Amino acid sequence: MKEFAYVRAGSVEEATSAYASHAGARYLGGGTNLVDLMKLGVERPAALIDVTRLPLDAVEELPDGGLRIGAMVRNSDLAAHLLVRDRYPALSQAVLAGASGQLRNAATTGGNLLQRTRCPYFQDLSKPCNKREPGSGCGARDGVHRDHAVLGHSAHCIATHPSDMAVALAALDGRVELYGPEGARRVAAADFHRLPGDRPDQDTEIRPGELVTGVVLPAAAAGLPSAYRKARDRASYAFALASVAVVLRLEDGVIGHAGLAFGALAHRPWRARRAEAALRGAAPTRAAFEHAADLELSAAQPLRDNAYKVPLARNLAVDVLSRLTDTALARRAS
C-alpha cells in the first residue's frame, strides 16, 4: 500500500477544504470498502480526509414529518433507530440484509452509498476493467458475469451497484444531501447513481470534492407499508443476486402509490417507473402485480449467464407487493 497523509476533519468546511488542498485525496468513512480497495491496490490515495468525527451522526425528525439521517450515522444505528423501523421499515430491513454485524457497526450512511462495485475484474489489477482503468476493456462481458446487470448496462460496463440500503432509499423517494466547493445541493436517491454508458468510471452524480452530508426521507412515505427482500446464494452475509424494495399506499381499495426499486439488476438501484405507472389506480391483485413486474422487466437484456435474474426479480416483486397489500388491508380492518 502506498503511503498517505491523514487529516481528521472537525467540520464540513474543514473536510472539503482539506480535500481541495490535497492532490489525490479521498474521504474516509468507516473504511470497510476503501481500506479493502487500498489493500488491493485499486485505490491509491495520497491523502485520507477522515470524516467520521463530523457532527453528522444523528437521525433527526424534520418539521414537515420527514427524517434526516446524517452521513456519519453507522449502518447498525440507522437500522436500529426506532423512527426508521417504525416509519420506513424497508430501509431498516435493507441495511440489515447487507454485510455483517461487524461491518455495519463501522460502515457509514455516506460510505454505503459510495461503495464500489463487487465485480471481481474491477478488484483485480491484472484484469481489464473500464471502470478501474477507462479504455482497458471489460473482462466480465465475456467472462464470469453471473452476478452482473440485466438492465441498463452498456458495451463498456455491465457491473451492478452492491448497496442494499440504496435500493430502499430509491423506492422511498429519499434525497441525498451534498456539500462541495459549489455549495449545498440535493439529488433524488433514485438519480444519485448513474448508468454506465461510456463513463463507467463515474458511479454517481457526485462532483469532485463533494461530501455526502446526509440523506432525507420524505414525510409522504412515513408510516406506509414498506419492505425489502433479498435473494442471495446463502441465507446470510452475501451480496444480492436480486432484491426489491417496495412502498405501497392503498386508497379506496386501489393502489394510490407504489414505489418499487430493484437491486443487483443494474449499475444503479433500478426504480421501476413503468411498473409503478401500471399499478397506479389498479386493484391490488396478484395479476396486476405480475403484469406490472413483467412490463418493467421486459426491458431486460440478460447476458449469457444471468438470465435467471429476471424471473427471480419478478417473483420477489410479486411476493413483496402481495405481502404489503395484506399488511395494508389488515391495518385498515383493525
Partner 1 sequence: MGNHEHHSETTLRVNGKPHTLTVDHRRVLLDLLREDLALTGAKRGCDHGQCGACTVLVDGRRVNSCLLFAVALDGREVTTVEGLSGDGEEPHPLQRAFLERDAFQCGYCTPGQICSAAGVLAEAAAGHPSYVTDPAAPSGEPVPLDREEIRERLSGNLCRCGAYPRITEAVEDVIP
Ligand X SMILES: Cc1cc2nc3c(=O)[nH]c(=O)nc-3n(C[C@H](O)[C@H](O)[C@H](O)COP(=O)(O)OP(=O)(O)OC[C@H]3O[C@@H](n4cnc5c(N)ncnc54)[C@H](O)[C@@H]3O)c2cc1C
Chain residues that interact with ligand X, rule: CB under 6 A? 26-34, 36, 51, 71, 75, 98-99, 103, 106-108, 110-112, 114-115, 162-165, 211-212, 239
Nearer to ligand X, 140 or 178 (CB): 178
3-state secondary structure of 71: coil
What angle separates helix 309-333 from helix 286-297, to the nearest 10 degrees? 140
3-state secondary structure of 234: coil
What distances in angstroms separate CA 110 from CA 29, 100, 191, 307, 333, one per listed residue?
7, 18, 15, 32, 40
- For ligand SF4, the binding residue among 122, 192, 239, 270 (CB under 6 A) is 122
Report the C-alpha dihedral over residues 6, 11, 12, 18, rounded to 10 degrees.
Answer: -30
Q: Which of 111, 140, 141 is nearest to 123 (CA)?
A: 140
> Residue 132: how many CA atoms within 13 Å on its side-chain side?
26
Size of the site for partner 1 (CB under 8 A): 37
Applying CB under 6 A, does 246 fall inside the site for ligand SF4? no
What distances in angstroms separate CA 275 from CA 50, 102, 289, 293, one per listed residue?
41, 36, 8, 6
- For ligand SF4, the binding residue among 16, 33, 130, 306 (CB under 6 A) is 130
Applying CB under 6 A, does 158 fall inside the site for ligand SF4? yes
E-strand spans in 194-288?
211-217, 226-231, 242-251, 254-263, 270-271
> Residue 18: how many CA atoms within 13 Å on its side-chain side?
22
Q: CB under 5 to 8 A by kind: which of ligand SF4, partner 1, ligand X, none does 29 bind? A: ligand X
Q: CB under 5 to 8 A by kind: which of partner 1, ligand SF4, ligand X, none does 259 bind? A: none
Whether the CB-CB separation of 275 and 296 falls below 8 Å is answered with yes
In angstroms, give the least distance from the CB of 274 to ligand X.
25
Applying CB under 8 A, does 97 fall inside the site for partner 1? yes
- For partner 1, the binding residue among 75, 76, 108, 204 (CB under 8 A) is 76
In angstroms, give the least distance from the CB of 262 to ligand SF4.
18
Region binding partner 1 by CB under 8 A among candidate stretches 83-91, 137-145, 191-199, 286-294: 83-91
In angstroms, give the least distance from the CB of 293 to ligand SF4.
25
b (16+ CB within 10 A) / e for 100-134: eeebbebbbbbbbbbbbbebebbbeeebbbbbbee
Applying CB under 8 A, does 292 fall inside the site for partner 1? no
Angle, CA of 125, 129 and 132, to the nearest 5°: 70
Range list of H helices, the chain:
12-21, 34-40, 75-80, 82-87, 89-96, 101-106, 109-113, 165-171, 189-192, 273-279, 286-297, 309-333
Q: Which helix (H) or strand (E) holds 180?
A: strand 175-180
Applying CB under 6 A, does 117 fall inside the site for ligand SF4? yes
Interface characters, 188-227, with ligand SF4 (x: CB under 6 A): ------------x---------------------------
Give residues 29-68 in contact with partner 1 (rule: CB under 8 A).
31-32, 35-36, 39, 48, 50, 52
Q: CB under 5 to 8 A by kind: which of partner 1, ligand X, ligand SF4, none does 325 bind? A: none
Residue written as cell 414529518?
65
Q: Which residue is nearest to ligand X (CB)?
A: 111
- For partner 1, the binding residue among 20, 103, 188, 329 (CB under 8 A) is 103
Applying CB under 6 A, does 131 fall inside the site for ligand SF4? yes
Binding residues for ligand SF4, rule: CB under 6 A, are 117, 119, 121-122, 129-131, 138-140, 148, 157-159, 200
Binding residues for partner 1, rule: CB under 8 A, are 1, 3-6, 8, 28, 31-32, 35-36, 39, 48, 50, 52, 76, 79-80, 82, 85-86, 89, 92-93, 96-97, 99-103, 105-106, 227, 235-237
